């Protein structure tokens, strides 16, 4: 069983997709052992409680400095001892010490086709605002491993979603969540649990096997 920890900041619809996929057998050989939020009010914590998964808040507000927050976060993660850390709308710059402590064991979902509309300042609705302002005809989502920089680690899965006439950032965000994020994030976790994702430098190779 792969021990999966999910880190969140907000609504937690991606967390819900993961919980539902585990319940439906679409993520095999994995259990969600905890949810960490940097925000005490995150609805994601309620979703965790509803699923019987321990939810913990580790907020920067409870620490005197960023360094102490980073240390507190890492200490909590070490306590949980996960095999995989999933950033599902976790809007915190991942501390370098955490990346070093969990090499190739942290993945993130980003709501665009990386390397477009990613990096510092691109999160949540801002990503879709920028994509529409640039006039792209296709956007989507990416699941990737986390390295020391922002949104630069090896890509695991991507899914494209067409922009439609009259799309607002909210409408595009919702379609990308439904058609891409909620599918490829659980799928990536299943692939990792099946031992089918191999990191090769800046890229990954997906080994053949039975899909859930």
Contact 135, 172 (CB under 8 A): no
Applying CB under 6 A, does 181 fall inside the site for ligand GAR? Answer: yes
Question: Contact with ligand GAR (CB under 6 A): which of 5, 14, 22, 157?
Answer: 14
Applying CB under 6 A, does 12 fall inside the site for ligand GAR? Answer: yes
Question: Contact with ligand GAR (CB under 6 A): which of 11, 60, 95, 169?
Answer: 11
Binding residues for ligand GAR restricted to 19-78, rule: CB under 6 A: 44
Applying CB under 6 A, does 88 fall inside the site for ligand GAR? Answer: yes
Residue 68, CA distances (Å) to 55, 64, 106, 212 in order: 21, 7, 21, 41
Q: Nearer to ligand GAR by C-beta: 11 or 60?
A: 11
User: Please, what is the Cα angle at 173 between 172 and 175, to 5 degrees?
Assistant: 65
Q: What is the CA radius of gyration of the chain?
A: 16
Q: Nearer to ligand GAR by C-beta: 151 or 194?
A: 151
Question: Contact with ligand GAR (CB under 6 A): which of 4, 109, 156, 180?
Answer: 109
Residue 77, CA distances (Å) to 1, 4, 12, 69, 115 in order: 18, 11, 19, 12, 29
Residue 196, CA distances (Å) to 31, 95, 156, 161, 193 in order: 17, 27, 11, 25, 8
Catalytic residue among 47, 110, 128, 175: 110
Smallest distance, ligand GAR to C-beta of residue 122, A: 6
The reply to whether 110 belongs to the active site is: yes
Specify which residues 4 forms β-bridges with: 32, 84
Of the candidate spans 32-40, 95-103, 104-112, 160-168, the one that interacts with ligand GAR by CB under 6 A turns out to be 104-112
Q: Nearer to ligand GAR by C-beta: 154 or 194?
A: 154
Q: What's the rounded Cα separation, in Å, for the pair 23 and 184?
A: 16
Residues of this chain that interact with ligand GAR (CB under 6 A) are: 8, 10-14, 44, 88-89, 109-111, 123-124, 127, 177, 181
Catalytic (active-site) positions: 110
């Amino acid at each position: 069983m792969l021990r999966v920890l999910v880190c969140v900041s907000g609504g937690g619809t991606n967390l819900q997709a993961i919980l539902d996929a585990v319940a439906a057998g679409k993520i095999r050989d994995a259990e969600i052992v905890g949810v960490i939020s940097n925000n005490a009010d995150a609805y994601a914590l309620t979703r965790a409680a509803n699923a019987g998964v321990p939810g913990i808040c580790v907020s920067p507000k409870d620490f005197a400095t960023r360094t102490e927050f980073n240390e507190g976060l890492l200490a909590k993660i070490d306590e949980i001892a996960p095999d995989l850390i999933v950033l599902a709308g976790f809007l915190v710059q991942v501390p370098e010490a955490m990346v070093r402590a969990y090499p190739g064991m942290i993945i993130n979902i980003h709501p665009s086709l990386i390397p477009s509309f990613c990096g510092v300042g691109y999160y949540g609705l801002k990503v879709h605002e920028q994509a529409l302002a640039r006039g792209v005809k296709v956007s989507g989502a990416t699941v990737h491993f986390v390295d020391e920089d922002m949104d630069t680690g090896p890509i695991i899965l991507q899914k494209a979603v067409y922009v439609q006439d009259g799309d607002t950032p909210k409408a595009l965000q919702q379609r990308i969540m439904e058609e891409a994020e909620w599918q490829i994030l659980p799928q990536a976790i299943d692939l990792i649990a099946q031992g089918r994702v191999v990191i090769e430098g800046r890229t990954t190779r997906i080994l053949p096997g039975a899909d859930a």
